A = this chain, B = another copy of it.
Amino acid sequence: MKAQLGGDEGKPKFVLKTPKGTRDYGPKQMAIRERVFSAIISCFKRHGAEVIDTPVFELKETLTGKYGEDSKLIYDLKDQGGELLSLRYDLTVSCHSLMAMNKITNIKRYHIAKVYRRDNPAMTRGRYREFYQCDFDIAGQFDPMIPDAECLKIVHEILSDLQLGDFVIKVILGFSVPWWEAVPWEEVRSEMVGEKGLSPEAADRIGEYVQLHGGLDLIERLLQDPKLSQNKLAKEGLGDMKLLFEYLTLFGITGKISFDLSLARGLDYYTGVIFEAVLLQQENEHVEELVGVGSVAGGGRYDGLVGMFDPKGRKVPCVGVSIGIERIFSILEQRLEASEEKIRTTETQVLVASAQKKLLEERLKLISELWDAGIKAEMLYKKNPKLLNQLQYCEDTGIPLVAIVGEQELKDGVIKLRIVATREEVNIRRESLVEEIRRRTSQP
């Protein structure tokens, strides 16, 4: 094996690097990731969601024709005999095939996994070829706007919990296309006038509203507009929007939600609400840093999609949220770098140390007791470490407490507990040590 790896000295012949557009995640990046995942997943679980997962590759034919021009960005696997495979391009297709395969018509679930695109990477802006997507969906036949309102509540909870700064969730009436295909107003207007036969005046009237945003008051105003309310679809949509804002009021989150007409879509058929969460400029952050990372979550209703995979073409109503998890990682990584705040990469509560020599056995006994009681504990792997080195290790890694084993203390049946931040030391009876460590390291 050694020989295979590169000659006599065991030196490697190849250059060590990760593939283009990818990176390794060291403990610091992972600590940020875990913080984000934990906030998001605990929110999804608070709302009763199940979780699913799918293979990282799919049959090539499952993906064929689904992404148009973007198909060239799909990673194909080499034909090594057997099936032709591709790496998953997004989570939508695999999730919906899963649902159709299992004839699932009623599910509240989330899926967090990596997807792959042979795109031009822009790694400083958080654009990679391997990246996470994070989707939450509620599928099933329900009374209008109740699950839609819950999706907005979820985005509100996650963004508040992550403390990314001030944000607004724009809610848009969704016509014609799924929420991930945004269309500029000019295009919508020419389609309305050309293909749909709307009068230019009516289209322009809609165009005026495109500039507007607000809450229940705006919706009421639009509902009273005689020109708009002649349009059956617009009336239906505005009625739903009113219902939605009433529910959001009960959830107490309308303060961060804005009914917005700036991203209008075509009028082919009404599919329901669309929303997008945007971070607002922070006072003490540079504009450049936030360019391209304003939008951190999106979602809405996409009722048609599951039917495409169902052998009988059955449609399942579906409303979903997609959290822009890579953007959130980028923002938090940049902030952390700027702040020079130290991030802990472990959760260790206490270091088991000794002040004198020949106490390795006692340290092993104590740390074993702590582990068995569920305490997160470490010790240095030295027979006789210096106390200074042990304290330095705590400073370096952010361990808040030191349990110091000493000969006199052992005789007295106590352990000396040192609080690293204040250098305070207290003798704790051994039988109370676990409780004391828990008390001093419990989250406020």
Contact = CB atoms under 8 A, between A and B. Distances in A.
A126 to B, nearest CB: 16
Residue in A24, A83, A360 whose Cβ sees the most chain B Cβ within 10 Å: A24
A6 B157 contact: no
Interface string A2-31: 101110011110101111101111110011
A138 B381 CA distance: 10
Given A11-B313, A368-B153, A378-B48, A56 B114 contact: yes
A374 B310 CA distance: 37
A79 interface: yes
B18 A311 contact: no
Contacts of A130: 55-57
A313 B307 CA distance: 57
A143 B382 contact: yes
A215 interface: no
A252 B368 contact: yes
A66 interface: yes
Interface string A377-388: 110011100000
Nearest to A309: B12
B62 A313 contact: no
Contact of A53 (B25, B87, B364, B368): B25
Nearest to A95: B24
Nearest to A149: B364
Interface in A34-92: 34, 45-59, 61-62, 64-66, 68, 75-80, 82-83, 85, 87
A246 B360 CA distance: 11
Contacts of A140: 381
Given A17-B59, A250-B365, A251-B364, A382 B51 contact: no
Given A46-B374, A75-B77, A309 B16 contact: yes
15 contacts: A1-B178, A4-B68, A5-B65, A10-B308, A11-B311, A11-B312, A11-B313, A16-B100, A19-B83, A20-B83, A22-B57, A48-B347, A56-B116, A147-B381, A153-B368
Given A24-B53, A30-B51, A75-B77, 4 more contacts: A2-B304, A77-B87, A143-B383, A146-B364
